[in-house]
Amino acid sequence: MSLLHRNDTRGAFPPSWYAATTDAPPLRPSLKGAEHADVCVVGAGFTGLMATLTLARAGRRVIVLDAHRAGFGASGRNGGQVGSGFNQSQQWIEKHQGHDAAHALWGMSQAAKDLVRENCAAFAGDALFRDGIAHGDWSAADCRESHADAEYLAKHYGYDQISPLDAAAFQDIVRTKSYVGGTLDMGAGHIHPLRYAVALAREAEAAGALLFDQSEVHHIARGSPAKVQTGQGHVMADHVILAGNGYLSGINKPVNARVMPINSFIAATEPLGDRAAEVLSRDIAVADSKFVVNYFRLSHDGRLLYGGRESYGLGFPTDITTKLRERFEGLFPQIKGAAIDYAWGGTLGITMNRMPCVMRAGPNILSASGFSGHGVALSGFSGQVLAEAIIGQSDRFDILSDLPMPVFPGAGAFRAPLLTLAMTWYAMRDRLGV
Ligand SMILES: Cc1cc2nc3c(=O)[nH]c(=O)nc-3n(C[C@H](O)[C@H](O)[C@H](O)COP(=O)(O)OP(=O)(O)OC[C@H]3O[C@@H](n4cnc5c(N)ncnc54)[C@H](O)[C@@H]3O)c2cc1C
């Protein structure tokens, strides 16, 4: 069974704290019969919805097809962290792409955060954008590296929003003794992601886009126009945007070879009341230096929203909570025994080098995916860049699509087991602290 259906109920959000606190519209109709569009967008997460909004505002007829519903995927169930930069350091990007492209890419990553901030201010106030992400370091070597990165960004990119923190200063904010220090980036932030996705969909519809839920695309017949086929209908479209991220498996071979799905899991505790301040003394989000990263923050009703476990097979484990509890109680023994009210998993796309995969996947087919856990800001921005390329401004698309994007080793049946093996190895190194 495909990932689209393996772990979720058809047309439904997962049982997350986000879904429980979002006023989502009823399911939209599914596509039936023949339609035509200037652009057909496959997938209604941040990537697809921001592409749609940009195109619809520019007067294009846009049809969006989602196998489940807008906001169903990673966009509606993630850690909400609107991080700075990319999953690789600027030094790494300079080494691979050169000075000018690295600076252009940094500028884009800043624009990506601004886009979320501006959208929240304009039409998604209930997504509660808040400033600040702290990064916790487990070892002195990690800490030296993160402080050096902060200094490098200030010196070479003029980004002065990151404060290096020693162990005491860090523990003052993040109330665990696990970290030997870290940084605080006040130019980054966090949001309620499902509310943001729902607002993006509403805004796209207001701009004239047509959204169809429960409309899984099974096949795209290339041509001009291309024919985008679902179970009960099709769209003839001059352009197609692929925005299915970790779920898109099988629809497009070039993307499929470069983007692999992995699963990540989040638990929401009961409201902690006064104990919330014993976990975090400020309303910021936190991520850390583990390979299987711990990421957490407080919800606006005082719960710990904690993510910190991955799985690399297709199916989610039957018991999600036990390991999540072990991990967050290890960090915060002071809330040991707190009830877990919600727990859920989600699927995201990763690439070999952890940079986003923005590419032309056919003459009139554009794709953006594989944001590798760094997509809350970058996915919507990349969607906007795909839209610009269709409208006729391709400079930002050219820079993003020029990033090296190796295919995953192995083919067919061997790909997933190879990935599982590699990721499990790194996760084990995490546990052993090597
Ligand atoms: C648990 C978790 C925590 C995360 N935490 C963070 C974080 O804190 N910060 C961060 O930056 N990133 C985080 N991420 C990653 C981030 O959420 C993603 O990078 C981003 O949301 C990707 O958006 P998207 O629109 O490309 O994909 P998605 O939101 O996954 O949307 C893809 C959509 O495409 C649809 N679809 C797929 N195939 C088809 C098809 N064949 N036909 C029709 N529809 C299709 C799906 O139904 C889905 O709705 C996290 C991800 C997960 C799962």
Domain of 319, CATH number, reads: 3.30.9.10
My answer on whether omega of the bond before 26 falls inside 30° of 0, hence cis, is no
- Mean pLDDT per segment of 10 residues, for the chain of length 434 residues? 90 97 97 98 98 98 98 98 96 96 98 98 98 97 97 98 98 97 98 98 98 97 97 98 91 92 95 97 96 94 92 86 95 98 96 96 97 96 98 97 90 60 60 53
Q: In the listed set 323, 350, 377, which residue is the last one of a domain according to the structure?
A: 350
Question: What percent helix, strand, coil does the chain show, rounded to 5?
Answer: 40, 25, 35
Q: What is the pLDDT of residue 291?
A: 79
Nearest-angstrom CA–CA distance, 123 and 202: 9
Six-digit token string for 153: 């960004």
Q: Is residue 150 domain-resident?
A: yes
Q: What is the pLDDT of residue 87?
A: 93
DSSP classification of residue 180: S
- Choose one of 371, 378, 386, 400 to mutate for the ligand 1 pocket test, by most ligand atoms within 8 angstroms of C-beta: 371
Same domain, 277 and 316: yes
Same domain, 268 and 160: yes
- Choose one of 6, 54, 66 to mutate for the ligand 1 pocket test, by most ligand atoms within 8 angstroms of C-beta: 66
Q: Is residue 102 domain-resident?
A: no
226 close to 240: Cβ distance less than 8 angstroms? yes
Domain containing residue 217: CATH number: 3.50.50.60
Distance from the alpha carbon of residue 75 to the mean position of ligand 1, in angstroms: 4
Same domain, 234 and 317: no
Nearest of 279, 323, 319 to residue 302 by alpha carbon:
279
State how many domains the chain has: 2
Q: What is the pLDDT of residue 54?
A: 98
The per-residue DSSP string of 14-55 comes to -S-HHHHT--PPPPPPPP-EEEEEEEEEE--SHHHHHHHHHH
Nearest CA to ligand 1 atom 13: 373
DSSP classification of residue 262: E
Q: Which residues line the pocket of ligand 1, CB cutoff 6 A?
A: 4, 42-48, 65-68, 72-75, 77-81, 83, 216-217, 243-248, 251, 264, 266, 295, 307, 346-348, 369, 371, 373-376, 379
Nearest-angstrom CA–CA distance, 72 and 48: 12
Q: What is the pLDDT of residue 248?
A: 86
Nearest CA to ligand 1 atom 25: 45
Six-digit token string for 295: 């990421």
Same domain, 175 and 295: yes
Q: Is residue 21 domain-resident?
A: yes
Nearest of 254, 330, 265 to residue 292 by alpha carbon:
265
Q: What is the pLDDT of residue 61?
A: 98
Distance from the alpha carbon of residue 155 to the mean position of ligand 1, in angstroms: 34
Same domain, 188 and 199: no
Nearest of 181, 193, 238, 186 to residue 363 by alpha carbon:
238
Q: What is the pLDDT of residue 374?
A: 94
Same domain, 187 and 277: yes
Same domain, 310 and 379: no
As beta bridge partners, residue 165 has 182
Nearest-angstrom CA–CA distance, 112 and 121: 14
Distance from the alpha carbon of residue 24 to the mean position of ligand 1, in angstroms: 17
Same domain, 160 and 267: yes
pTM comes to 0.96
Same domain, 272 and 181: yes
Q: Which amino acid is at 362?
A: G
Q: In the listed set 350, 365, 386, which residue is the last one of a domain according to the structure?
A: 350
Q: Is residue 413 domain-resident?
A: yes
Range of the domain at 24: 3-78+194-257+352-424
Same domain, 240 and 151: no
351 close to 262: Cβ distance less than 8 angstroms? no
Ligand 1 atom at minimum distance from 375 CA: 19
Same domain, 384 and 416: yes
Nearest of 150, 204, 175, 422 to residue 277 by alpha carbon:
175
Residues in the chain: 434
Ligand 1 atom at minimum distance from 346 CA: 53
Q: Is residue 176 domain-resident?
A: yes
Nearest-angstrom CA–CA distance, 382 and 161: 23
Nearest CA to ligand 1 atom 49: 73
Q: What is the pLDDT of residue 421?
A: 62
Nearest-angstrom CA–CA distance, 54 and 79: 25
Q: What is the pLDDT of residue 426?
A: 59
Please name the residue that has the structure tokens 């941040």: 46
Q: What is the pLDDT of residue 118?
A: 98
